[in-house]
Each structure stands twice: as C-alpha cells, then as structure tokens.
Amino acid sequence: MTIFWRLLLSHLLADFTLQFNVVNRMKREGLAGMVIHCLTHFLVALALVWQWLPDVWFRVGNLPFNGWTAMLLLLVTHYMVDQLRVYTMKTLRFRDGLLSFLLDQFLHVYILFLLAPVFTLDSGFFHPEKWVGLLSMLVIVTHATTVLVYFIEKELHEKTFPGFDEKYFLIFERVVLWAFFLVKGWYWIPFAAAWIAQMVYVRKKRILDLSRTNIVVSVLAAVVCGLWARYIYYGAF
C-alpha cells in the first residue's frame, strides 16, 4: 500500500499543486508543455518511491517488472491519457467539462493502482503513512477541490476559473475547516460548525461572489478529507 499512496501523492502534487496555469495552457497548445507536465509527474514520483525502484512490483506471466519499468510505463501512459483528452477537445470538439475532468482523473489513478504492488484491499489500504496521507488530503482540500469546483460551476453556471482573491480565500476557508478535524478530542466539533456557519455568512453578505454550489462542495470536501485525515492520524474517527 505504501507505494500506491506515494504514487497517488505524486499525482496530486504534479497534476494540481505543480501544474501552474502556464503549464496547463502550454500542454494544450503543443508538445513542449505536455512534455514538461509529464516529466514533472515522472520526477516527483521517482523522488517519492526511489527506495523501491529496484524491487519487483508486479509480474505479467513469468515476466517481472521492477519499479524502474513501472515508472517508465507511468510516464508513457500519463502522456497518452493527457494527449487523449487534448485530442478529444481540439479535434473531436468534446466539451472540456466535469465529465472529461473526472474521467481523466479516474484513468490516472486507476493506472497507478495497476502499476503499484497492491495485492490485497484490506483496512490498511485506507491507512497510509501519516505524512503521505495527510499531505494527500491537504492537496485535495486545496488545489484539487478548487479545480473540481471550477468544473462543477462551469457546468451549472458557465463560470470561469476563479480569480486570485476567490481562489485563495476559499482555499484558506477549507484548510482551516479541515484542520479542525485534527484536533484531539471532540471539542473541535462546535468550532468546525461555527466555521461552516461563517462560510455561509460570508456568502450571504456577498463579501465575495460565491455560489451556493461553491460553498457546499467546499464544505463537503473539507469534511470528508478531514474525517479521513483524522482516521489516518489517530487511527479512529
């Protein structure tokens, strides 16, 4: 399970945190941007699973595949999946919407699962190394949820990607709510509830032009990742 979770963390970091707007734009316009993006994935993954690269990760028949081979396959398949998404948008004129985003992410994570040496899906699968699990939850709460909210609002309200103020204000709101779940004991619950109420109040006061969809998705993402982070950190809810 350790390798899968580290690969998942590398994917989250490279596909969201480290995929800056300029890289995202470049990869849709030409080969150079796509290569930069895929190499970022490759290098981050190598750094996180370096110690296991010589080990055999899986076998196809009697043919063993070690970590180095798996990483090369990961590089090639990531390039193929991302190129497929660009091709369907530019050539087939498919909408760059929520469905294409979710399908793209599903394919990437499924390939990670196939390449990683995961042999049994027991309760330990949902309990990774603390720092890997917590950092993964943090990336989901911050940058991944920002992109998810954007695609949902694009479908429902034809909204554009949020500006700097809205983007980082909501990242801050989600991180604080998520962090409450890591406080020991149960007295954090009223503070988390008060923080959610504060988020709703901000929307009603129109301090920022936030949709109900944005607030609901933000709260749900922070709560789900918060509960999971609490389980990872304490071993229980």
Question: Taking residues 82-96, what's their average pLDDT?
Answer: 87
| Whole-number Å distance between alpha carbons of 44 and 50 | 10
Number of CB atoms found within 10 A of residue 96's CB:
16
Work out the pLDDT band at 227, boundaries 50, 70, 90: very high
pTM: 0.92
* Class of residue 22 by CB neighbours under 10 A (exposed 0-12, middle 13-18, buried 19+): exposed
Which residue(s) pair with 59 in the sheet? 64
Domain ranges of the chain: 2-126, 142-234
Q: Could you tell me how many residues make up the chain? A: 237
| Structure confidence by residue, pLDDT tens digits, 47-80 | 999 999 999 998 888 899 999 999 999 999 999 9
Work out the pLDDT band at 30, boundaries 50, 70, 90: confident
Cα dihedral 83, 85, 87, 92 in deg (nearest 10): 170
| Whole-number Å distance between alpha carbons of 91 and 102 | 20
DSSP 126: G
**SS3 call for 99:** helix
| Whole-number Å distance between alpha carbons of 59 and 69 | 11
DSSP 123: G
Work out the pLDDT band at 139, boundaries 50, 70, 90: very high
Per-residue confidence (pLDDT) for residue 120, from 0 to 100: 61
**SS3 call for 93:** coil
pLDDT of 174 higher than 90: yes
Work out the pLDDT band at 124, boundaries 50, 70, 90: low
Per-residue confidence (pLDDT) for residue 189, from 0 to 100: 93
pLDDT of 204 higher than 70: yes
**SS3 call for 151:** helix
Compute CA 37 distance to the chain's CA centroid, rounded to the nearest angstrom.
15
**SS3 call for 48:** helix
